[in-house]
Structure 1
Amino acid sequence: MPTDFDPSLKPTMGMMGLHYKVPINNWLYGGVGMYAAITGDQGGLFTLGVDVGMNKKLYNNLYFDANFHFGGGGGYRYLINDGAFINPNIGFSYKQEKFNVGIQYSHVNFYTGKIKSNAVSFFIEIPSTLRFTEYQNAQKKFIASNLSDTNFWKQPVVKNVQQVRFDFFKPIGNSRKDNVNNQEPLTETLYVLGFEYQKYISSNTFLFTHVDAIYKGLRAGFMDLFFGVGYHPYQTEKIIFFTKIGIGAAGGRIAPEGGLMIYPSTGIDVKISNKLAVSSHLGYYKAIAGDLEAYTYGFGLKYYGFNGGTNNHSTFKTQGIRIGIQNQTYLNVLKTDSPMVDLQLLGVQINYDINQTFYLIGEASFAYGGKSGGYAQGMAGVGIYSPYFLNNKLRAHLEAMAGAAGGAGVDTGEGIVLRPTIGLSYKLTNALSLQSSIGKLITPFGNLKATNITIGLSFGLATLSTRK
């Protein structure tokens, strides 16, 4: 790690990554992934990117594994400049029935900046099966009957939860601001907005991952990423108590430290329907090898899904989901520390259909061009599809989204952003669509108002969802 601009920084960095990979055929795969710094005074370095790789059997359970990752993100802008980076990996994996382990030789290169380093990477993979059919079969209702034991859909229903989180961090101890603020004590309450996904592995145990970004309390740019496990010590039909323990990374706008964090919490969910619940929680937020420390409290809105199988249920609908990889261009973006720039962002967007017309949206995107490495945004919202037209190939969409964004001097004020867009999608195949849109990125508490042009590819699928 380069240290010429600040000799007090540690010359090494460790990162963790969380990836989701999908087989394309029996040797080729693709996917998306995030990285975050956890050691080496680079806390706050986060990235988002796309993967393509190959996996070929060598002998028995030993496989050759190589992949290429391209993404955007960053921490100290002096070190990463635009934010674009490449990460090729080559190595081996050893496959077991329920998990795979591996080792790779890696190269991390922020090629417009100063971070260019080789590394050794260790990984563990957990294989899973996603049961789905073509997107054109989405939003159909039916009754399952006379299913054989070998039927593709005769599997246990999987419970999952999607949650929008509002969290509040009350710093304690020796928590400090960044070097720009002379590492003054951090005493302000931090307001963060986040998204969490939970997948149940039993009736009272679940795995989760969540990401947060600040929108008040500090200049925008602080974020975190956690994954972990949760448990229900007590639950009724309407009330659910939970405990969770997460490990992950956090940073940005605070004093230099590694980034590795631990986050235990406890709380209660109150169900207002079979699909919706309001949630409240208390927790403790602590850097494992740093000074950041806070008590936390917050609330959220949870949406329950039951999908992927038919056991113990008889009435279903097919749930439509679209997953998009996007290039987002923002024109004439105001900055607080330099002239206007045109930003290039790599984004991942997930659309969750409510019916044939309306859908929910979740999105994360990171800068890779425009001398604003470290700028990131996370949004949620709602969209409207038009009916298909032009030989059933084209349809329009209108989206309204809100979220938190900041970093790299982009003038988002305290971090709240709004983005209305209108666009078109063209069906290339039953699964793939080409999408484009135009809109405005607006900061209600800042000075930013930038035109947004997006183009990307979207993959659609339909899976089973119970009508419980």
Structure 2
Amino acid sequence: MKKFSLLIITIITCQILVSQNETAPNKLTQKGFAKINFLSINMPEFNIPNEPNMGFSGIHYNLFLNESFYTGLGIYGAITGERGGFFTLGINAGYKKYLTEKFYLDTGFHFGGGGGAGAPDGGGAFILPHFNLGYNFKHFSLNTGWSYVNFFDDGLIKGNQLNIALEIPLNYVYTNYNKRENIYQLKELNKSNWNQKTQRTSLMVHLNNLDVTKALPTQEQVIQGKTIRLAGFEFANYFTKNWFGFIKVDGAYSGIKAGYMDVFLGGGYHFSFNKNNTHILTKFSIGAGGGGGVNSDGGFMIAPDVSLEQKLFKNTFIAINKGYLLTPSQLFSTSSYGVGLKYYLDRSGTIANKKHFSSGKFKGVDFIIKHDWYFNAKRISEPTEDMHQISLQINLDLNKHLYVAGQTSFANFGNAGAYAEGLVGLGIKSKKIMGIHTRFFGQILTGAAGGGNISTGEGLIIKPSFGADYQLNNTLNLRGSLGYVKAKGGNLNNAFINLGLSYNFSFLNMK
């Protein structure tokens, strides 16, 4: 028995040593670009006499499939006009052709869903093609041209307009998803093409509160003096040791009628103290917000903020924040405060200032675009009918079987164009079975939802589901699931199914 135990220990030890000395996987580069664009949409005569144009601004990220064709995702929000709280989500496809070294043609197509703020958006489905001429300034490019918008599922918003866009090259490095959770020693990584400077990134889920100090009453409610409770997430990337940029998305789950959300893009400065165990972050962001009966004066908002972070363990911090969220006219103004859980990553390289790593682990991430079909989605006042929505979910693997998830969804068919969701949760997935192609999963998400006359009470929903992924190639999977959605305090209480595509890869995180 002792000899047998010694043999087993020897075999396990050899396997560990072999895995630790395994050659690091090759670093791959995916070319892409971030895009911010703006268009002014002529609004139809509906419920606001002589309604001004709606200023519609989008944030996008696109991947190049080859030298010219690209695809990606984008989220739009109203920032001027009378429709603050109008938001959409969609997918992009396009083609870029350089006419000279600097000038290029860009033609593309956006399909999405969304709406809100009482606009005539129908079911929410819309198309937005464009044809632009651009100029490349090396570190960024500008383009402008014709575009056309049409909310074609019984919506009234349609027409031609001029658009303008700013684009910034934004590539990332990765390796195949099947390398996730593999650990490599620093000396092995330094022999590979991962031997470069790290990029610092942070991910945070948070709860925020808006104490409304000034707001115009609407026909739906009086919100001045109330507290809007929000749940959301923030993604930040560091450009230098201290300067960073971030994107933040929140949705209301309590305090007012369901339907309020905001999206912010901003920057900040990071101060470290107490041997990097304590941080103070100053932030300033601009964005779009509204919905849920909030009169946000066209939608454009600013949000100064200060955060204090304290290390809990390893790269995980608890954060508290105090700031303000308001429209420039102060027609709507709030005092904000909240708490969050933040995780820092030193990724995509092995070299960092004043940091000494011993090893690196590859972490899996999964981007899922899907179509949800809600059966008999209960309304507040309209007849019950099915509802459809376009949905984006992002999973970060905790290990080979557990993952954390964030999801946002917008209605696109079913007479509920203003409906949207913002959810977070946990999931578990199996090993691949049936050869090497299929994996089963189960997850439970919760968060904020509302708008579109869907009966979600103050906005809190819970959404369990289970399904399967079928591998198409190294990065793409066909994904389907079925589940149930239940609103706390509302009548939304039904089954749903969805079908979509997932794009996954692994990135290097140093330890």
CA contact (8 A) 1:178 1:256 kept: no
> Which residue number in structure 2 is paired with residue 275 of structure 1?
315
Q: Distance in 2 between matches of 1:267 and 1:431?
A: 37
Q: 1:338 aligns with which of 382, 386, 396?
A: 382
Aligned partner of residue 218 in structure 1, secondary structure:
coil
In the TM superposition, residue 5 of structure 1 has moved relative to its aligned partner by 3.1
Match for residue 60 of structure 1 among 77, 94, 101? 101
Q: What's the secondary structure of 2:178's corresponding residue?
A: helix
1:14 aligns with 2:55: yes
Alignment match of 2:132 (pick from 72, 91, 94) = 91
1:155-187 alpha-carbon deviations (Å, 9 max, x no partner): 2111111111211111113x1243444xx4622
Q: Secondary structure at the match of 2:139?
A: coil
What is the deviation of 1:392? 1.1
Give the Å deviation of 1:77.
4.5
Written as runs of structure 1 = structure 2, the 5 A alignment for 1:99-138 is 99-111=140-152, 112-138=154-180
Structure-1 residue corresponding to 2:181: 139
Kindly report which structure 2 residues correspond to 1:153-164, keeping only aligned pairs within 5 A, or say none: 153-164=194-205
Once the two structures are TM-superposed, the CA of residue 234 in structure 1 deviates from its matched residue by 4.5
Aligned letter for 1:409?
Answer: N
What does 1:163-182 align with in structure 2 at a 5 Å threshold? Answer: 163-173=204-214, 175-181=215-221
Deviation at 1:274, TM superposition (A): 2.2
Deviation for aligned residue 1:289 = 4.1
Residue type matched to 1:124 in 2?
Answer: L
Instruction: Name the TM-score, length of structure 2 as normaliser.
Output: 0.88
User: What pairs with 1:9-408 in structure 2 (closer than 5 Å)?
Assistant: 10-111=51-152, 112-145=154-187, 152-173=193-214, 175-181=215-221, 184=222, 186-236=224-274, 237-252=276-291, 253-255=293-295, 257-289=297-329, 291-312=331-352, 313-408=357-452
- How far the C-alpha of 1:254 sits from its partner, in A, is 1.7
Output the TM-score relative to the length of structure 1.
Answer: 0.95
Shift of 1:8: 4.1
Report the CA distance between 1:314 and its aligned residue.
Answer: 4.4
Distance 2:364 2:260 in 1: 33
Conserved? CA contact 1:395–1:424, under 8 Å: yes
Q: Distance in 1 between matches of 2:435 and 2:297?
A: 57
Deviates more, 1:193-202 or 1:253-262: 253-262
Q: Percent identity among equivalent residues?
A: 34
Q: CA deviation at 1:235?
A: 3.1
Q: Could you tell me which runs of 5 or more consecutive residues in structure 1 were left unpaired when the two chains were aligned.
A: none
CA contact (8 A) 1:3 1:11 kept: no
Pairwise CA distance, 1:121: 1.6
Distance 1:289 1:60 in 2: 44
1:417-428 to 2 correspondences below 5 Å? 417-428=461-472
Q: What secondary structure is seen at the aligned counterpart in 2 of 1:145? A: helix
| TM-fit CA distance, 1:152 | 3.2
| Contact 2:289–2:296 (Cα < 8 Å) also in 1 | no
Q: CA deviation at 1:3?
A: 5.0
Contact kept in structure 2, 1:2 and 1:79, CA below 8 Å: no
Question: Residue 223 of structure 2 contacts residue 256 of structure 2 at CA under 8 Å; is this kept in 1?
Answer: no
Q: Is the Cα–Cα contact under 8 Å of residues 9 and 40 in structure 1 kept in the other structure?
A: no
Q: Distance in 2 between matches of 1:217 and 1:4?
A: 32
Shift of 1:117: 2.3
In structure 2, what is the Cα distance between the partners aligned to 1:290 and 1:270?
33
Q: Which amino acid aligns with 2:308?
A: I
**In 2: Cα distance, 1:323 partner to 1:234 partner:** 32
Tell me by how many angstroms 1:66 deviates: 1.0
Shift of 1:255: 2.7
Q: Which amino acid aligns with 2:89?
A: L
Question: Alpha-carbon deviation of 1:288?
Answer: 1.8
Rounded to whole Å, the distance in 2 between the matches of 1:228 and 1:377 is 22
- The answer as to whether partners of 1:9 and 1:41 remain within 8 angstroms in 2 is no
Q: Closer, same or farther in 2 for the Cα pair 1:176/1:12, shift >3 Å?
A: same
Deviation at 1:134? 1.1
Unaligned runs of 5+ in 2: 1-41
Superimposed CA distance per residue, residues 68-99 of structure 1 (whole angstroms, 9 cap, x where no aligned partner): 00000002455101001111011122223322
Query: Which structure 2 residues correspond to residues 441-456 of structure 1 after superposition, within 5 A?
Result: 441-456=485-500
CA distance in 1, matches of 2:48, 2:270: 47
Task: Report if aligned partners of 2:372, 2:496 keep a CA contact under 8 Å in 1.
Answer: yes
In 2, distance between residues paired with 1:68 and 1:289?
35
1:82-139 Cα distance to aligned partner (Å, 9 max, x none): 0011110111222233222211321121112111122222211121221011111211
CA RMSD, 1 decimal:
1.6
Q: What is the alpha-carbon distance in structure 1 between the residues aligned to residue 138 and residue 485 of structure 2?
A: 46
* 1: CA distance, partners of 2:184 / 2:223: 59
Whole-angstrom distance in 2 between the partners of 1:364 and 1:134: 26
From the superposition, tell whether residues 459 and 85 of structure 1 become closer, same or farther in structure 2 (CA, over 3 Å).
same
356-365 or 139-148, which moves further after superposition?
139-148
* 1:59 aligned counterpart, secondary structure: coil
Deviation sequence 1:230-250 (CA, Å, 0-9, x none):
112443321101110000011
SS of 1:131's partner is strand
- Residue equivalent to 2:7: none
Name the CA distance, whole Å, in 2 between partners of 1:152 and 1:106: 42
Is 1:77–1:372's contact at 8 Å kept on the other side of the alignment?
Answer: no
| CA 424–7 in structure 1, closer or farther in 2 if over 3 Å, else same | closer
Tell me, yes or no, if the aligned pair for 2:296 and 2:332 is still in contact at 8 Å: no
* Structure 2 letter corresponding to 1:449: N
Paired residue secondary structure (2:172): coil
**For the structure 1 residues 185 and 8, does the alpha-carbon distance in structure 2 shift closer, same or farther, using more than 3 Å as the test?**
farther
Deviations 1:254-285 (A, max 9, x none): 23621111000112001111221110011111
Map residues 411-422 of structure 1 onto 2, 5 A cutoff.
411-422=455-466
Is this contact kept in 2: 1:403–1:417, CA < 8 A? yes
